[in-house]
Structure 1
Amino acid sequence: MSPIMVKACLNGSRKPGDHPALPLTPLELAEAARGAREAGAAAVHMHPRDEAGRESLSPAHIGAAVRAVRRACPGMPVGVSTGLWITGGDPQARSEAVRTWAALLREDRPDFASVNLSEPGFPELWHDLRRLGVDVEAGVWTTGDAEALAATGLECARVLVEVIGGAEDTAVSRAHAVLGRLDELGVPGPRLLHGEEAPAWILVDEAGQLGLATRIGLEDVLHSPVGDPVEGNADLVRLAMARLA
């Protein structure tokens, strides 16, 4: 098995129909998480949905998804998104939604949640999550985000170096710029490197070269490294594990 930690990102903001195996319901997320774990994933990240398939921060939907995945994959760390778009770009509504997770049993709360530095309200949401016993993953997309994270002085369970969009041939240099700035600023915490769409597989390989954690799943990419269609999350994890071995 690869020593590189691989996190499976099960669905993201994909819409129903984007892929035949896209998991949306708690049962589908649990089945996808089980398959990803069997393929070698060490953790999962997901975007729980409401009954209409829309992303949700409601405790009912967060709790149902986390509970289902925990039953299917005992002991596996489970994380969720707090993307600001989920509450229509309203940081206050997001914080209020996250605080309602206090009504959940501890075992129905996620182990960690990702928070993007490019979105307003990072320090407040960090404190809200930590009060709930939920670890924070800091989503850092740019050197500016790295500087913003350093300015907070807050420590995170992981720093997600995320190369979002842009050309494939600049993905590695952009990743190194962010990683280098984090190091220059002395930002603590382990790094996880990944990309979305075209750069996704390039950055899985680069994470392997650097000995960093990475992630793969239908949130990030819908095809194999050679462009072939994939069956689902477990298929993507198996392909990543083989490249990192």
Structure 2
Amino acid sequence: MTTVPARTAARTLITVAPTGAETAKADVPALPTTPEELVETAIACEAAGAALIHIHVRDADHRPTLDQALLREAVVGVREATDLVVQLSTGGAVTDALEQRLTVLDADPDSCSLTCGTTNFGDGVFLNPWGFMVDLYRLAQEREVVPEFELFELGHVHALRRLIDECGLPYGGTVHVDFVLGVPGSMPGTPQALMAGLALLPPEVTSWSATGIGRTHLPIAAAALSAGGHLRVGMEDNLIFAKGRPVGHNRELVGRAAELATLMQRPPMSTAEARELLAVKDRRSR
């Protein structure tokens, strides 16, 4: 098991997931869907306390896409404007083909998401069969990209154990997971569900974060911080800041997460500390 440095263990990794693939721009004009909006969001969220950005891209009509040119533009744009760890979603939209989702790594991100199993996703099904998971894991090892293992169900924790047994450790030797709770049809967004997942984590896991969807984002954030975990926030996961008040910008969610972490005496991690925690390859040209 890789040892996490004490200085990073005392701080909180804040991930921002600014866009996602589910919300329509027409319904939420504040959602960052253009390359310019994405870069502006990245700059603002880094200043507010984020150290990692989880990216979905949209086309000129604001529709979710896995277009290679747009993925590369997003990676380069954020990398040139910030020091954030750049993570691309390999989930895309639930309708994207498995073969196309593997091509996401061609855009040369620092990190990628790797969901550890199929799950109900609202009215749809988020498909992640075993063969696809293995192919993505091995491709990430080959490309020296650090995966973030996304866990929507308790069974996904067991699948992570199986992946490590079959494929070994990821590039860099660390294992970072993110619990995604509160998706309709998946694991509920409750502290009890999070604690059950934590109890099942394999010993190779070196760090973990948690994401609460919608109204569960604050209870899950509080539970994660109290249990020593890290946080993911953003408009991909939550569009309401408080009752009657929609989120106007992702930096609001990042700023509140940073305040909570600081109150819990685990202030936000710097980007340099995040890179050390996750053991990402330095792809920056400067």
Tell me if the contact between 1:155 and 1:188 (Cα under 8 Å) persists in the aligned partners: no
Query: Which residue of 82, 87, 98 corresponds with 1:91?
Result: 98
Q: How far apart are 1:89 and its partner, in Å?
A: 4.9
Per the alignment, in what secondary structure is the counterpart of residue 139 of structure 1? strand
Tell me the residue number matched to 1:133. Answer: 144
Q: Distance in 1 between matches of 2:178 and 2:141?
A: 18
Per the alignment, in what secondary structure is the counterpart of residue 135 of structure 2? helix
Deviates further, 163-172 or 15-24: 163-172
Alignment of 1:61 with 2:70, yes or no, is yes
After superposition, the Cα gap between the structure-2 partners of 1:170 and 1:55, relative to the gap in structure 1 and judged at 3 Å, is closer
Deviates further, 227-236 or 113-122: 227-236
Alignment of 1:3 with 2:22, yes or no, is no
Per the alignment, in what secondary structure is the counterpart of residue 214 of structure 2? coil
Tell me the residue number matched to 1:211. Answer: 228
Per the alignment, in what secondary structure is the counterpart of residue 246 of structure 2? coil
Sequence identity of aligned pairs in percent?
Answer: 27
Deviates further, 189-198 or 142-151: 189-198
Per the alignment, in what secondary structure is the counterpart of residue 15 of structure 2? strand
Tell me the residue number matched to 1:238. Answer: 255
Q: How far apart are 1:229 and its partner, in Å?
A: 2.1
Moved over 4 A (4+): 166-170
After superposition, the Cα gap between the structure-2 partners of 1:69 and 1:89, relative to the gap in structure 1 and judged at 3 Å, is closer
Q: Distance in 1 between matches of 2:188 and 2:143?
A: 41
Tell me the residue number matched to 1:79. Answer: 87
Q: How far apart are 1:68 and its partner, in Å?
A: 1.1
The root-mean-square deviation of aligned C-alpha atoms, in Å, is 2.3
Per the alignment, in what secondary structure is the counterpart of residue 241 of structure 2? coil
Q: How far apart are 1:84 and its partner, in Å?
A: 5.8
Tell me if the contact between 1:10 and 1:218 (Cα under 8 Å) persists in the aligned partners: yes
Tell me the residue number matched to 1:158. Answer: 176
Q: How far apart are 1:227 and its partner, in Å?
A: 5.2
Q: How far apart are 1:94 and its partner, in Å?
A: 2.5
Query: Which residue of 194, 199, 207 corresponds with 2:216?
Result: 199
Tell me if the contact between 1:30 and 1:72 (Cα under 8 Å) persists in the aligned partners: yes
After superposition, the Cα gap between the structure-2 partners of 1:209 and 1:90, relative to the gap in structure 1 and judged at 3 Å, is same
Q: Distance in 2 between matches of 1:111 and 1:38?
A: 20
Q: How far apart are 1:168 and its partner, in Å?
A: 11
Instruction: Provide structure 1 residue ranges, at least 5 long, that are not aligned to the other structure.
Output: none
**Can you list the C-alpha shifts for 1:93-127, whole angstroms capped at 9, x where unaligned?**
322x236x1xx5xxxx2110101112121111111
Instruction: Provide structure 2 residue ranges, at least 5 long, that are not aligned to the other structure.
Output: 1-9, 118-127, 263-286
Q: Distance in 1 between matches of 2:189 and 2:152?
A: 14
Q: How far apart are 1:85 and its partner, in Å?
A: 3.5
